[in-house]
Amino acid sequence: MKRVVVVGGGLAGLAAAYEAKRRGAAVTLLEKDRPGGKVRTIRDDGFVIETGPDAVVRYKPWALALARELGLEDEVVGTLPARPAAYIRVRGRNHPLPEGLNVVIPSRLGPLVRTSLFSPLGKLRAGLDLFLPRGPEGDEAFGAFIRRRLGREVWENLAAPLTGGIYGGDPENLSLLAAFPMLKELEKKHRSLILGSLAAMKKRRASREGGSLFASFEGGQARLVEALLDQLDGSLHAGERALAIEQEGSGWRVTGERGVYPAELLVLAVPAPAAAELLEPLGFPALAELRSIPYHSAATVTMAFDAAGFPERNGHGVLFARPEGFGARGFTWLDRKWAHRAPEGYALCRAYFSGEEAEQDEEELLKTALRDLRRLLGASVEPERVWIERFPRGMPAYTVGHLKRLAAIEAAEKGFAGLALVGAAYRGVGIPEVIRDGRRAVSEFLEEHPAS
Ligand SMILES: Cc1cc2nc3c(=O)[nH]c(=O)nc-3n(C[C@H](O)[C@H](O)[C@H](O)COP(=O)(O)OP(=O)(O)OC[C@H]3O[C@@H](n4cnc5c(N)ncnc54)[C@H](O)[C@@H]3O)c2cc1C
């Protein structure tokens, strides 16, 4: 029987451990804190509070496919209907998100013409995309790409606020090829992003289930963690940090805080800086690349208010364009986005912070969240309950050059038999991608090295 040791019990590590178990391997999973990593659902007096991720996108199928395998299909929920679903605050006003966006690209001319997000000149500039020639091959900064194709207003008023939260920090220098490869592909294939998006959205609409773009579980994202743990009985060593790794024969020896664990396959499902620390004594040739993946901070402040007399809110939330001067990136109206997340009679609002603003301490975060919310709603609201979570340097950013760094890391990994680096640092930051990554690494190894 093959032995697999997984270090890191976020969703990448849990999915890797599950895949190994499913394929009949003996599994040990070391997690220094609690399983779930960035995923945390607090169930408290009828509140279901997500302090980290609150949704998976349906068109990346790996999380929901796993949920089905784990028997969670009856617990999958979509977002509550809302049209428009979200707003962006620009020039002191909330503007509805144009309908039919493909990631950040308007895929229909009607909503683009009608939207109040852009000035008439800004719309004309966006329309130039229909005529502009293709850009150069190769990687490009996301900000420069959107401005080149669609103009400055689309960047500042739509693309930047929509994507600012995904990788933390400033989306300007994200790698187009690593973070938004589908947009580069659209340009390559269709030349115009708008025309290409129209074709892509037609296909996607046909394949989308249930209408809602986002999905979660009745009991929150932690249901996925709990269902995975149910499959891993006895394999999880929670509260045990991996201290050192060594090669032993053709395999590995992992020293944890409470024991030593031999393995044929070692899966490092930890953030890149933690992987670099473990790999340094082995002379791993891509330590510099691992360490040069930038990490930004994120934080959330969730507040419950007495709904009686609470100002009216529309859609699932509002995002802020940077020049508006808010500290938070935006607010989600959780009670309007999901059913049954708060007891009757509560309004549930979550402020999302990323980059420098997320580095404030809890007291400052709450102050900023309340100041922003009061300014946004124009009312002096006071929360009855508050939940705050900080993710210091918790979000990897795929900046220009990420794919080169990744290629160097993958080449170095190949020099160490039975080593796999998986998780949000590498091939996608969302829950679906890290699940796919963890499972892929384990299946590849066990298919190449079947138990003898
Ligand atoms: C605020 C926020 C909101 C988000 N929203 C969404 C969303 O809505 N949808 C979405 O798809 N994604 C979202 N994401 C992204 C997604 O949650 C993460 O990218 C994903 O959960 C990361 O999983 P992971 O397993 O790669 O890493 P992590 O969850 O970071 O897990 C790594 C684990 O390794 C452990 N570890 C580290 N070092 C050691 C060691 N030496 N020994 C043992 N254990 C160790 C850590 O304790 C941690 O548990 C969000 C992220 C944040 C922070």
Q: Is 55 in the pocket of ligand 1 (CB under 6 A)?
A: yes
Average pLDDT over residues 70-80: 97
Residue ranges with strand state E in 199-286: 214-217, 236-238, 242-248, 251-256, 260-263, 265-268
The rounded distance, in Å, linking the Cα atoms of 302 and 415 is: 45
Measured in Å, residue 412 CA sits from the centre of ligand 1 at: 23
pLDDT tens digit sequence for 124-182:
999 999 999 999 999 999 999 999 999 999 999 999 999 987 887 789 999 999 999 99
Q: Is 429 in the pocket of ligand 1 (CB under 6 A)?
A: yes
Q: Is 191 in the pocket of ligand 1 (CB under 6 A)?
A: no
pLDDT tens digit sequence for 306-359:
999 999 999 999 999 988 899 999 999 999 999 999 999 999 999 999 999 999
pLDDT tens digit sequence for 16-35:
999 999 999 999 999 999 99
Domain spans in the chain, listed from the N-terminal domain onward: 3-36+221-293+399-448, 98-207, 295-396
- Mean of pLDDT over the chain: 95
**90 pLDDT above the threshold of 80:** yes
The rounded distance, in Å, linking the Cα atoms of 364 and 83 is: 33
The rounded distance, in Å, linking the Cα atoms of 430 and 16 is: 16
Residue ranges with strand state E in 38-110: 41-44, 47-50, 56-57, 76-78, 86-90, 93-96, 101-102, 105-106
Q: Is 151 in the pocket of ligand 1 (CB under 6 A)?
A: no
Average pLDDT over residues 407-427: 98
Q: What is the pLDDT of residue 211?
A: 59
Return the CATH superfamily for domain 98-207: protoporphyrinogen ix oxidase, domain 3 (1.10.3110.10)
Measured in Å, residue 32 CA sits from the centre of ligand 1 at: 13
Closest by CA position to 431, among listed 103, 33, 15, 11: 11
The rounded distance, in Å, linking the Cα atoms of 318 and 329 is: 9
Residue range 3-36+221-293+399-448 forms a domain whose CATH class is alpha beta
**109 pLDDT above the threshold of 90:** no
Q: What is the pLDDT of residue 204?
A: 65
Q: What is the pLDDT of residue 170?
A: 86
The rounded distance, in Å, linking the Cα atoms of 143 and 153 is: 11
Q: What is the pLDDT of residue 210?
A: 47
pLDDT tens digit sequence for 168-223:
778 999 999 999 999 999 999 999 999 998 887 777 665 444 457 899 999 999 99
Atom of ligand 1 nearest to the CA of 425: 26
pLDDT tens digit sequence for 265-306:
999 999 999 999 999 999 999 999 999 999 999 999 999 999
**112 pLDDT above the threshold of 90:** no
Decide yes or no: CATH 3.90.600.10 for domain 295-396.
Answer: no
Q: Is 274 in the pocket of ligand 1 (CB under 6 A)?
A: yes
Atom of ligand 1 nearest to the CA of 57: 11
Q: Is 431 in the pocket of ligand 1 (CB under 6 A)?
A: yes
Q: Is 397 in the pocket of ligand 1 (CB under 6 A)?
A: no
Residues in the chain: 452
pLDDT tens digit sequence for 244-264:
999 999 999 999 999 999 999
Measured in Å, residue 382 CA sits from the centre of ligand 1 at: 31
Q: Is 37 in the pocket of ligand 1 (CB under 6 A)?
A: yes
Q: Is 433 in the pocket of ligand 1 (CB under 6 A)?
A: no
Helix H or strand E segment including 202? helix 193-207
Question: What are the DSSP calls for 94-163, one per residue?
Answer: EEEPPSSEETTEE--HHHHHH-SSS-HHHHHHHHGGGTPPP--SS--BHHHHHHHHH-HHHIIIIIHHHH
Q: What is the pTM of this model?
A: 0.96
Q: Is 9 in the pocket of ligand 1 (CB under 6 A)?
A: yes
Q: What is the pLDDT of residue 209?
A: 43
Average pLDDT over residues 49-76: 97
Q: Is 222 in the pocket of ligand 1 (CB under 6 A)?
A: no
Q: Are 301 and 431 in contact (CB under 8 A)?
A: no
Residue nearest to atom 45 of ligand 1 (CA): 8
- Cα atoms found within 13 Å of the Cα of residue 183, Cβ hemisphere only: 28
Measured in Å, residue 16 CA sits from the centre of ligand 1 at: 14
Pocket test for ligand 1, best of 6, 19, 28, 38 (most atoms within 8 A of CB): 38
